[in-house]
Amino acid sequence: MRKDYISWEDYFMAIASLSAMRSKDPVTQVGACIVDRDHKIVSVGYNGMPYGTEDISANWSKDGKWEDTKYPYVCHAELNAILNSPRSVKGCIIYVTHHPCNECAKAIVQSGISEVIFNNDKEGKESDVAKIILDNANIKVKKHRADFKNIGIRL
């Protein structure tokens, strides 16, 4: 038997990372992968614009008038993964490339997801409030510890 096969956690985080590569955001690419307790992938998502608004918000700007920036439009990876799911995500684990923000924390809690595994810390008040929301909802949150620091895929 092979000894160097990847762990479930590395596998699902790699899928979240691969999903992030679909993002058109020039600054931040975030991916999420929702998995049930039987290690079955339920859904994936990445940060993107809502259907129909791709042209309005195509510049992905961070500066300027609020309604001209990406912020009021972009749908985060976690929310997209939850909304993309064909079934309930109750009791599932969400793997995310970045720590969730407060808006996604709310969606995670309300959807019934019971565990969050994230790869990169995110500083700021959105992340701080997300920690309060997730903690009060008794959602297990942990930082991913990779066995494989680099997974190469050749196509």
Residues that bind Zn ion (CB under 5 A): 76, 101, 104
Place of tokens 């969606």: 107
Residue 39 Cβ vs Zn ion, minimum distance, rounded to whole Å: 25
| 80 versus 114: smaller Cβ distance to Zn ion | 80
Nearest to 34 by CA among 101, 108, 119, 106: 108
DSSP label at residue 57:
T
Residue keyed to tokens 């929310």:
79
Q: How far apart are CA 103 and CA 29, in angstroms?
A: 17
**Complex with Zn ion: residue 10 or 99, whichever CB lies closer:** 99
Of the two residues 10 and 119, which places its CB atom closer to Zn ion in the complex?
Answer: 119
Residues with a catalytic annotation lie at 78
